[in-house]
Amino acid sequence: MHELSFATWLIHISSVIEWIYAIFVINRISKNKNYTVFFWLSIAMIPNLIGAMCAITWHIYDNQDVLYGLVTLQGIFTFIGNSTLALASFLIFKKEETYE
């Protein structure tokens, strides 16, 4: 794990923990306030989390060429995650229009 500095590792790990916490908080809000559309937002966040796990796993093993497929997976999951987050945001926006 010598490829990244301690500060970089700290940022990587804290970002993943923060993302996991945000998923749980948004899910809790969806249950307590009965905003079912926010449940789908929390689900839409999961592919980005998987992508982050791919990146961290690759860094844990010192960016070995054998595991370079994790970089491709990270890119794929980031694309899927960004797409699902855009869709969830659009659905929240459309649902908000019905409240006015």
3-state SS, residue 34? coil
Domain boundaries along the sequence of the chain: 6-99
> Structure tokens of 32?
């307590």
Query: Who has greater pLDDT, 1 or 72?
Result: 72
The number of residues in the chain equals 100
Each residue of 10-28: pLDDT tens digit?
999 999 999 999 999 999 9
pLDDT > 70 fraction of the chain, expressed in percent and rounded:
94
Please give the model's pTM, rounded to 2 decimal places.
0.87
Task: Give the Cα separation of 12 and 9 in Å (integer).
Answer: 5
Considering only CA atoms, which of 77, 87, 100 is closest in space to residue 37? 87
Task: Give the Cα separation of 82 and 74 in Å (integer).
Answer: 12
Residue labelled with tokens 């990587």:
12
